[in-house]
């Protein structure tokens, strides 16, 4: 009942005419539902994942279909219930645990990075922790400094967990399917702005064609979201949408932008990045996480440590090491907006 569609690694995810379209949120919950149907060891746990269906609709409908024994609302005790997930996974269950906002990792990080991520290694491979930890990320709707962060760089820095970051419905379903089936702990971070929620401004790409059947998008494989020859944008999550918008706009002026959607941070598809910049020589890394000591630095270093001379231009468009401000005017001054991305691309090609 499962297919792996490999060719999406290098092709844009475009709805084919007549194919079913889903929001990213629906794609996520469909992936979970299908895995729950196929494997009774899969269960879902978190705050408001039951009758509410998840604050960002990642678990909508699951309670009705699978009942309260497999879709469990928890107290606001992230350490306890993530740890419960770990213990359950160790015993062979396959929990999908939601941490409502990634910003809350600070109350439960020990379970995540010292336990979920390390048990397999510490046990010399004798104990597996097949668990998915999913969380909402990102800003852009004035939710303030404690509810708008991306933070994927923090998770990617700490070894032992895979980290995936889908940007669209197709990848969201395929990565969730792969994550649940994986024997490794996977951190699954979805940006609220790619979920296609009715109550939030959304990019049209947050609703797209999604196959009905279960399929996997391979963890650790980037996708060439758009081919181009002048500049490479390496990016992820909502910033993929912005980058594609910018690429489309600049194409009219004859500027050819290649957009790489990383999709996974761990493992990081360093080959795909290098391949693209070999062609363009110019790299713009776009990231909604904080700029320093994070994704942007890693992407750049990955290139130059392998081929120091390959880049003639490199720049970053990220959140400049400031807490996310509340006021819209301030928040949009620090987010990687299309305007900032466009300026960076123009600067890159000007050289």
Partner 1 sequence: MADTSGLTAQSRRDLLSMMILIRTYEEAILREYHADKSPGFDIGAGLVPGEMHLSAGQEPVAAGIGAHLREGDALTATHRPHHVAIAHGVDLRRMTAEIFGREDGLGRGRGGHMHLFDPDRHFSCSGIIAEGLPPALGQAFALRRAGTDGVAVAVTGEGAANQGAFHESLNLAALWKLPVVFVVEDNDWGISVPRSASTSVPSNAARAAAYGIPGVRVEDNAVEAVHAAVGAAVARARAGEGPSLIEVHTLRLWGHFEGDAQGYRPDLEGAPGRDPIPTYVAALVADGVLTEADVALIRTGAAERVEDAIAFAKASPVPSPDDALKYVFTEGIPA
Q: How far is the CB of 174 from partner 1 (least distance, A)?
A: 19
Out of ligand TPP, partner 1, a second copy, none, which partner does residue 301 contact, by CB within 5 to 8 A per kind? a second copy
185 HSE (CA, 13 A, CB side): 32
Q: How far apart are CA 63 and CA 87, in angstroms?
A: 22
Distances (CA, A) of 226 to 97, 215, 234, 337, 350: 33, 22, 11, 18, 21
Instruction: Please report whether residue 108 would count as binding a second copy according to CB under 8 A.
Output: yes
* 147 flagged as catalytic: yes
Q: Which of 147, 191, 241, 242 is catalytic?
A: 147
What angle do helix axes 270-280 and 295-306 make, rounded to 10 degrees?
70
**Please, are residues 29 and 180 in contact by the beta-carbon 8 Å criterion?**
no
In the complex, the smallest distance separating the C-beta of residue 86 from ligand TPP, rounded to whole angstroms, is 16
Q: Can residue 56 be called a binding residue for ligand TPP (CB under 6 A)?
A: no
3, 301, 333, 339: which one binds a second copy (CB under 8 A): 301
E-strand ranges in 77-131 read: 94-101
Residues 116-145 that bind a second copy (CB under 8 A): 117-118, 121-122, 144-145
Cβ contacts of 141 within 8 Å, gap of 6 or more: 148, 192, 193, 200, 201
Question: Crossing angle, helix 24-38 and helix 169-181, to 10 degrees?
Answer: 30
Pick the stretch among 99-107, 131-139, 270-278, 302-310 that binds ligand TPP (CB under 6 A).
99-107
Q: Work out whether 120 is an interface residue with partner 1 (CB under 8 A).
A: yes
**Which positions from 161 through 180 interact with partner 1, judged by CB under 8 A?**
162
Work out how close the CB of 105 gets to ligand TPP at its nearest, in angstroms, rounded to a whole number: 9
Tell which positions 143-162 bind a second copy, by CB under 8 A. 144-146, 153-154, 156-160
To a second copy, the closest distance from the beta carbon of 294 in angstroms equals 5
Kindly tell me which residue out of 93, 107, 109, 310 binds ligand TPP, with binding defined by CB under 6 A. 107
Q: Is 279:229 a contact under the CB 8 Å cutoff?
A: yes
Least Å distance between CB 121 and partner 1? 5
In degrees and rounded to multiples of 5, residue 141 shows phi and psi of: -130, 25
Cα 245 vs. chain centroid, distance in angstroms?
19
User: Residue 197 or 304: which CB sits closer to a second copy?
Assistant: 304
Of the candidate spans 5-13, 32-40, 88-96, 102-110, the one that interacts with a second copy by CB under 8 A turns out to be 102-110
Q: Cite the active site residues.
A: 147
């Amino acid at each position: 009942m499962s297919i792996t569609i490999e060719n999406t690694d290098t092709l844009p995810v475009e709805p084919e005419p007549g194919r079913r379209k889903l929001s990213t949120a629906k794609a996520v919950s469909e992936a979970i539902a299908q895995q729950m149907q196929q494997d009774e060891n899969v269960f879902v746990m978190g705050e408001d994942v039951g009758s509410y269906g998840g604050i960002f609709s990642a678990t909508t409908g699951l309670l009705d279909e699978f009942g309260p024994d497999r879709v469990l609302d928890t107290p606001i005790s992230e350490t306890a219930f993530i740890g419960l997930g770990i213990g359950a996974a160790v015993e062979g269950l396959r929990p999908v645990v939601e941490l409502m906002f990634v910003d809350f990792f600070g109350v439960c990080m020990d379970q995540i990075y010292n336990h979920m991520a390390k048990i397999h290694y510490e046990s010399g491979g004798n104990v597996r922790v097949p668990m998915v930890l999913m969380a909402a990320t990102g800003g852009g709707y004035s939710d303030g400094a404690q509810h708008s962060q991306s933070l994927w760089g923090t998770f990617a820095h700490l070894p032992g967990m895979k980290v995936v970051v889908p940007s669209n419905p197709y990848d969201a379903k395929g990565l969730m399917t792969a994550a649940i089936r994986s024997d490794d702990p996977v951190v699954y971070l979805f940006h609220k702005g790619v979920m296609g929620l009715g109550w939030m401004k959304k990019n049209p790409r947050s609703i797209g064609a999604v196959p009905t059947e279960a399929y996997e998008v391979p963890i650790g494989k980037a996708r060439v979201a758009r081919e181009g020859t002048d500049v490479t944008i390496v990016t992820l999550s909502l910033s993929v949408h912005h980058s594609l918008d910018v690429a489309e706009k600049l194409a009219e002026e004859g500027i050819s932008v290649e957009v790489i959607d990383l999709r996974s941070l761990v493992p990081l598809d360093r080959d795909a990045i290098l391949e693209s910049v070999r062609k363009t020589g110019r790299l713009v890394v776009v990231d909604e996480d904080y700029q320093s000591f994070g994704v942007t630095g890693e992407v750049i270093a990955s290139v130059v440590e392998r081929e120091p001379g390959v880049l003639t231009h490199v720049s970053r468009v990220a959140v400049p090491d400031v807490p996310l401000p509340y006021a819209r005017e301030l928040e949009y001054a620090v987010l990687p907006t299309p305007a900032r991305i466009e300026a960076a691309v123009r600067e890159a090609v000007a050289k």
